[in-house]
Structures are given as C-alpha cells and as structure tokens.
C-alpha cells in the first residue's frame, strides 16, 4: 500500500469550497428548520383540531420517509407537479428545512409541554393574553429544555447535507467523490473528507455546549 498525501493536499482547496457550501446549506437549513419547527411544534402543542392534524400529518410524512427520497421528490417530482424550475442547491435547502423542521417540531412540542402548568397559569391570572404568555413565559423556559436535543439536530443536519450528492449538489461529499473518480486516492480523500466533517461538527457541538451552559438557569 502506498499512500500519497500530496493528493489530499492538492484536493484541499476544492474540498474546502465544498465544505463552504455544506456550511451554507446547513445554516440556512437549520434556521429555516427552526422556524418551521416552532410553527409546527406550537401547532402540535396548542393548535386547534385542524392545525394539530396538519402538523401531525407533516411530521408523520417526513419521519416516515427517507431523506434521500425526499430530496429526489423535491428536485425531480415537485417541479413537474408545480411547473417550476429549481436548482439542486435550492432543492437541497428546501429539503433540509422541511426535513429538520419535522424533527424540530416534535422536540419543541415536548419542550413546550414540559413547562409546568402553574407557570402559564400564573401569567394568565395577571391578565396577559395567551400570545404573551407563550412569548414571555412558556417560550423562555421551554427553549432551555429544548437546547440539548436541538444540539443533536444541528449535528444531524450537517451530516444530512451529504445526501444531496445524489442530485449533484457540490457540497463536501460530492466533491470528494468527484476527486476520487479522477485520482482513485480513496484512503487519502475520504480520510480528508471525514476529518473536515469531524472538525466542523466538533466545533459546532462544542459551541452549542458552551451556549447551553451560558443560558442555564441557576
């Protein structure tokens, strides 16, 4: 076995561009997924019958299908159904938002429902409308309950972006595969790709841990 690490060094600029796209898709996906997750999670916890059913259906469909199938659907099937054109990166972002949103919804529902009933009652009994009770009492407490699970979600989202190689999004994994196809340096390239993911995820997970500690209540 002769390993040639100069091949990995030569590939690094190209891989780093891929890493950049991975980070962009992950961050946009996370932000969008949190917004969707809050809407669906609030719907699950406090919505009327119809809102609850819609949210439940959404969560069931997303959790019940593989993300590869979801991105294929968004990229190939949705344009036909809606008569629109959509780029691969956009399809990836839409998929990750919709996908992580469903998992976030369940986390957020659980966190909202874990807030002791007496807290919203105390605020309601002062004459606040429910919207304000949600914003100023339930949300700040629930959000701290949700943080550890959301940390997991961050890691999952970053890793899930690698799946978008199937529709040709030039993120990190895809670029690794492309270089591999040229130079067949499997060990060097995949080790480098793995290391880049590991560094990214470790940094993210550690910053989240720090943040969690910062907002922890005494």
Partner 1 sequence: MSSVMIEFDRMRKTFGGHVVLESIDLTIPQGEVAVVVGPSGSGKSTLLRCINGLEKISGGDLRVDGVSVLGPERDMRRIRLEAGMVFQQFNLFPHLTAIQNVMFGPIRARNQSKAEARDIAITLLEKVGLSHRMDHYPSQLSGGQQQRVAIARSLAVQPKIMLFDEPTSALDPELRQEVLRVMQTVAQEGMTMIVVTHEMGFAERVGSRLIFMDAGRVVHDGKPADVLANPPSDRMRDFLSHVH
User: Which one of 19-27, 100-108, 134-142, 178-186 is the stretch in contact with partner 1 (CB under 8 A)?
Assistant: 134-142
Q: Measured from the CB of residue 143, what is the shortest distance to partner 1 in angstroms?
A: 9
Closer to partner 1 by Cβ: residue 111 or 189: 111
How buried is 37 (Cβ within 10 angstroms: 0-12 exposed, 13-18 middle, 19+ buried)? buried
Among the listed residues 82, 116, 181, 210, the single contact to partner 1 using CB under 8 A: 116
Q: Is there binding between residue 136 and partner 1 (CB under 8 A)? A: yes
DSSP secondary structure letter of residue 22: H
- Asked whether position 125 contacts partner 1 by CB under 8 A, the answer is yes
Q: Can you tell me the distance from the alpha carbon of 74 to that of 34, in angstroms, rounded to the nearest whole number?
A: 20
CA dist 123 and 62 (Å) reads 35
Stretch that binds partner 1, among 8-16, 76-84, 139-147, 177-185 (CB under 8 A): 139-147
Query: Among residues 12, 69, 77, 122, which is the contact residue for partner 1, using CB under 8 A?
Result: 122
- Please say whether the beta carbons of 2 and 72 come within 8 A: no
Task: Determine which helix (DSSP H) or strand (DSSP E) holds 134, and give its type and residue range.
Answer: none
- CB-CB neighbours of 203 under 10 Å: 10
Q: Does 218 bind partner 1 (CB under 8 A)?
A: yes
Of 14, 63, 77, 121, the one binding partner 1 by CB under 8 A: 121
From the CB of 138, what's the least distance to partner 1, in Å?
A: 10
Residue 165 CB contacts under 8 Å (≥ 6 apart), including other chains: 171, 173, 174, 177
When the beta carbons of 56 and 113 are compared against partner 1, the nearer one is: 113
Angle at 157 between CA 156 and CA 158, to 5 degrees: 95
| Binder among 114, 129, 184, 211 for partner 1 (CB under 8 A) | 129
Q: Which residues bind partner 1 (CB under 8 A)?
A: 116, 118-119, 121-129, 132, 136-137, 140-141, 144, 217-218
């Amino acid at each position: 076995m002769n390993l040639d690490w100069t091949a990995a060094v030569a590939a690094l600029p190209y891989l780093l561009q891929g890493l950049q796209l991975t980070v962009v898709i992950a961050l946009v996906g996370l932000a969008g997924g949190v917004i969707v997750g809050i809407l669906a999670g609030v719907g699950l916890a406090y919505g009327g019958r119809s809102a609850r059913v819609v949210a439940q259906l959404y969560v069931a469909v997303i959790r019940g299908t593989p993300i590869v199938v979801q991105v294929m659907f968004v990229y190939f099937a949705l344009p036909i159904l809606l008569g629109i054109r959509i780029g691969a990166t956009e399809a990836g972002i839409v998929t990750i938002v919709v996908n992580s949103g469903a998992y976030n919804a369940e986390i957020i529902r659980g966190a909202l429902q874990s807030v002791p009933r007496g807290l919203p009652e105390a605020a309601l009994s002062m004459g606040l409308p429910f919207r304000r009770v949600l914003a100023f009492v339930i949300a700040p407490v629930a959000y701290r309950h949700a943080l550890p699970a959301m940390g997991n979600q961050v890691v999952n989202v970053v890793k899930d972006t690698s799946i978008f190689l199937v529709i040709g999004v030039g993120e990190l994994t895809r670029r690794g595969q492309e270089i591999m196809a040229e130079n067949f340096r499997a060990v060097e390239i995949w080790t480098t790709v793995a290391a880049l993911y590991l560094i990214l995820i470790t940094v993210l997970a550690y910053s989240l841990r720090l943040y969690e500690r910062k907002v922890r209540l005494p």
